[in-house]
Amino acid sequence: MTLNRGTSLLLNIGHALDHMFLLIFATAVTSIAIEFGFARWEDLMPYSAGAFLLFGIGSVPAGRLGDLWGRRSMMLIFFFGMGGAALVCATVQNAWQMAAALGLLGAFSSIYHPVGIPMLVQHARKPGTTIGINGLAGNLGIAFAAVLTGFMVKYIGWRAAFVAPGLLAIVCGFVFMRVTPVETESPAKRKGKAAVSLPPEILARLFLVMTCAAISSSLLFNFTTNGNGQLLRERFTGVVDDPAQLGIMLAAVYAVASFAQVIVGRLIDRYPLKLLYLGIVLLQIPMFLLAAHAQGWVLLCLQAGFMVAIFGAIPFTDAMIVRYVDDAIRSRVSGMRLAVSFGISSLAVYSLGPAVKAAGFTSFRG
C-alpha cells in the first residue's frame, strides 16, 4: 500500500510550511524590533529561542502520539495548530507576547518531523529519494519565507507575513482531512520490520551516532537560516538595501541549495551512507572559512555553497531511521532524536543576536 498523491503532496507542503513559519520572525526581525522599541535587532532575537526549544522537546510527545494514536490525526493538529498560532503571532504587541506566540508556533511545528516524515516513507520503495524530495519541499519553504516576508514587510507590514501562510495552513488542514483516509489502526499495532535488522547494542550505538550527527546539523541549520538574512543585509550595505530584493536573493540561495537534498537522496538509495556523509560534512569547512570574510556578490555565491553542504547533510539521519528502525516505533525514535538535537540547537538561536552584537558575523562564523 502506498499513500495517495494528494496525501503525499500535502505532507510535502506541510514540510515547507513547517520551516517557513519558524523563519518569518528571523526574516522580519529588524522591522519588528523597531515597532517594539528595540534599538537593534540583535536584542530582540533571543525572544525567539523558546520556539526552537519547544520545536525540539515537543517532538517526544508528538512522536509517541503519532505511533500510538495515529499519524493522520496528529497531522491534522499540525496544520490547524500552525495556522492558528501564526494568526496569534500577527496580533502581538510587545516582545514577551511575541515570545509566547512563537513558543506556541514552535510547539505545533514540532509535530511534523517525527510524524509527517515517517508517514511519508512508511511504504516508500525508494526512501532516500522520497526523503530528498521532502527535504527539497522543506527548504523551498525557507526560500519562500525570505521572499514572502521581504515583500510583506515592504508593502503591507510584518504582521501580514504571518497571516497569509497561517490561512494557507488552515486550508491545507481541511484538504488533508478530506483526501487522507482514516487509519484503521495505529502504526504501533501494525506489523512491520526495518529494512536492516540490528541487535539492540548496535542499534543503541547507531542512535547515538544519529543524535550527534543531528545536533551538529541542527546547530549549523539554525545558525545559518536565522542569521543569513541579517548577514546579507550587513554585507550588501550600499550595494543592495531594498528588503524585497534582499529577500529574493536569499530565496535564490535557498532554492539552489535545496536541490542538494534531492541529489543526496538519490545517492543514498545507491551508495553507502558513511562516505557520502563524510564528503558533505568536509565540504562545509572551507565554505564557512571563506564566507566569514567575504563581501557582496562573492558572499552570495559562498552562501549558496555552504547552504548546499548544510542542506545536503540533513537527509542522512532520516535515512538511517528508515533503514534500521521498525515503522511501529519510528515516530518515537525520531521524536527522541529530534528532541535532543533541536533542543540543544535552540541555543544557536538564543546566542545569535548577542554574539553578533558583541563580535560581529566574521568572528561568529569563523
CATH number at residue 119: 1.20.1250.20
pLDDT surpasses 70 at 182 = yes
Query: Of 41-45, 49-53, 64-68, 85-89, which one has max mean pLDDT?
Result: 85-89
Task: Tell me the C-alpha distance between 176 and 341, whole Å.
Answer: 29
Share of the chain above pLDDT 90, in %: 21
Domain holding 270, by residue range, is 5-365
Nearest Cα neighbor of 247 from 28, 4, 81 is 28
> What is each CA distance from 170 to 77, 90, 174, in whole angstroms?
10, 15, 7
Q: pLDDT grade, residue 145 (50/70/90)?
A: confident
Residue 126 — φ and ψ, nearest 5°? -125, 80
Task: Tell me the C-alpha distance between 26 and 105, whole Å.
Answer: 14
Task: Tell me the C-alpha distance between 171 and 308, whole Å.
Answer: 32
DSSP 181: P
Decide if 149 contacts 158 (C-beta within 8 A): yes
Task: Tell me the C-alpha distance between 250 and 229, whole Å.
Answer: 7
Domain count, the chain: 1
Average pLDDT, whole number, for the chain?
82
pLDDT surpasses 50 at 325 = yes
Which amino acid type is present at position 19?
A: H
User: The dihedral of CA 79, 213, 124, 270: what is its sign?
Assistant: positive
pTM for the predicted model, two decimal places: 0.76
pLDDT surpasses 90 at 102 = yes
pLDDT surpasses 80 at 114 = yes
- The residue-averaged pLDDT of 312-321 equals 80
Task: Tell me the C-alpha distance between 221 and 157, whole Å.
Answer: 27
Decide if 270 contacts 162 (C-beta within 8 A): no
pLDDT surpasses 90 at 42 = no
